[in-house]
Chains A and B, each alone.
Chain A
């Protein structure tokens, strides 16, 4: 098992290199480089040339890449074109906001998906099943920005239950408790929208997994042993049915660095996703590269975690 992990980690490194080359090339293909977008239009040509040299934008792209790579390997991600802050700091600042949104959303989605999926499976073919399936389809077939829009309109504008954007209504100088409550109020709508976008697909997956498991012979053996139906469903069926779902959840979690992008965009939530939009608009290469790299690292890491989880949960994989 340990050897397997090490092998996968070793494979991940060249992959990461290739990914960085891929992404570097891509963002430099975006028309209108940083110099055209950020620089003050009133700058003289000499001033522009000086700035370009300072940012290293006058070099050929492959050289730029090698410079970037060299810096990145030492943990130096340079400075943002837009704000001149160290990129590392910017990411560190924005990442918690995305986590706040992403982790509760996925945790909630997982719990609801398991519940809905199991109920749907056990009431297979009844009206309950059809209702829950319909709800799941709404989550799957509605584009997430539309969900966000509707949520904002219904709960924010019409009902005035929740605020529709940002993280807080007040400036500073409010007591911590009220600030916390206010923060939570701002969190709820985007978090729910994000959760709904996952629940749809996950609950369908759970449902079909559960239906398959309940048909298995060992469930009948359990019944022949005298195990009660509820114990049978939880201890035997659920235990087996949830395994494939957990792998999917782990994989979806890998998208953490980019998965909330749209939600953050709609609700103006100041996380990595919103940062990405902003950096893209001004062609802020250092920030873009760092974000893309972070995103790829998470995707690859959670791919590995998903495989490990699968082995942990299914002894047939572990011991073969």
Chain B
């Protein structure tokens, strides 16, 4: 097994659509150590959910296609094992929770039965034993009056409570890894913190590794040991959390971090954005997918850079040809930005001039 619990190597997942193949995940590699908490960050559509679903093999194969790579877990390549083995792993060794707790539970089954189902499938306990364990699990995830609530139906719980039930189901059989796909996105802000704390606490207590997928950098900062930054189906950068926030090395990460408004910023300063839009995954441009939006881009970026460790720092990887800490590179980038601003200004003025019939007399 080595030192890693889960090793994703060059994972590729494509979707067959009428117009061709959408390369949702195009060569993603990362690893999780036992008990480690990994954050996977990226904007909508970057392939982070698809990565998680690919690991769990929850994607229906006709539209989806596992086009390459391997997922090593427990000495097995999950992409190769038969479905029966995969079924034992799902819920038993790897648990997963999803984004929308309102729709993720069967409305006609009691909460106790849904938790119990996981226990009975994997741990082969009796109905009564499953009931008892379900009650204790509900207590552990912080649901009051667990013994009564065990017979309640999902619609009788609030969103936050339902997510707690989902966590209970996912952790019922003490899996080695919990995958959480945007677990707090659909919840109220006040509840978000509670859920994250819960995941953090329970997983630390049981030594469960966590892979938390989110677009929210705040979530990642508070909870994770390592971060993987994804963009357009590829990994851009990965590093220990503190290191990433203190010392980002990929232009995309730079953009992400600087777009978060800070309390200590000068007031009334403009919010910074990353201009442009993500590429069309049907026909991705060759090379680095971020190139069209990257101020640091060079001709060499038309070849995809490999994900390599920084010199002198074996824990921090980036997929970029450019060293963004180099003052020369920064100047180059800044110059390109200024040129663009001038161009845009000129174009706007030209348009205004052509639509105004009479120029103002000053």
Write the residues of chain A forming the contact surface with B, with a CB cutoff of 8 angstroms: 216-218, 220-228, 235-236, 239-240, 243, 313-316, 319-320
Contacts and interface: CB of A to CB of B under 8 A. Distances in A.
- Mostly, the A contact residues are helix
B106 A224 contact: no
Given A217-B100, A217-B103, A315-B107, A224 B87 contact: no
Nearest to B179: A224
Contact of B87 (A228, A235, A239): A228
Contacts of B107: 218, 240, 314-316
Given A221-B169, A240-B108, A316 B155 contact: yes
A216 B98 CA distance: 13
A227 B105 contact: no
Contacts, number: 76
Interface string B285-308: 000000000000000000000000
Contact of B56 (A224, A319, A320): A224
B156 interface: yes
A121 to B, nearest CB: 14
Interface string B128-167: 0000000000000000000000000101100000000010
Given A223-B58, A225-B121, A227-B121, A217 B98 contact: yes
Contacts of B166: 221
A13 to B, nearest CB: 33
Given A218-B103, A221-B104, A239-B108, A226 B92 contact: yes
A150 B108 CA distance: 43
Given A224-B58, A225-B117, A225-B169, A218 B88 contact: no
B90 A224 contact: yes
A157 to B, nearest CB: 48
Contacts of B117: 222, 225, 227, 235
A24 B170 CA distance: 64
B32 interface: no
B118 interface: yes
14 contacts: A220-B104, A221-B106, A224-B58, A224-B96, A226-B122, A227-B87, A227-B91, A227-B117, A235-B117, A243-B108, A314-B108, A315-B108, A316-B153, A320-B155
A226 B106 contact: no
Given A218-B107, A224-B90, A226-B118, 19 more contacts: A216-B103, A217-B103, A220-B98, A221-B98, A224-B170, A225-B90, A226-B122, A227-B91, A227-B117, A227-B121, A228-B87, A235-B117, A239-B106, A239-B109, A313-B108, A315-B155, A316-B155, A319-B153, A319-B156
A225 B100 CA distance: 16
A87 B121 CA distance: 60
A220 B99 CA distance: 12
Interface string B317-330: 00000000000000
A315 B111 CA distance: 12
Contacts of A225: 90-91, 117-118, 121, 169-170
Contacts of A320: 155
Contacts of A239: 106, 108-109
4 closest A-B pairs by beta carbon, nearest first, are: A226-B91, A225-B91, A217-B103, A226-B90
Contacts of A314: 107-108
B79 interface: no
Given A220-B58, A223-B58, A315-B153, A240 B106 contact: yes
A216 B104 CA distance: 8
B169 A226 contact: no
Contacts of B122: 226
Contacts of A220: 58, 98, 104
A13 B89 CA distance: 59
A226 to B, nearest CB: 4
Contacts of B106: 218, 221-222, 236, 239-240
B150 to A, nearest CB: 14
A226 B89 contact: yes
B155 A319 contact: yes
A218 B155 CA distance: 13
B249 to A, nearest CB: 35
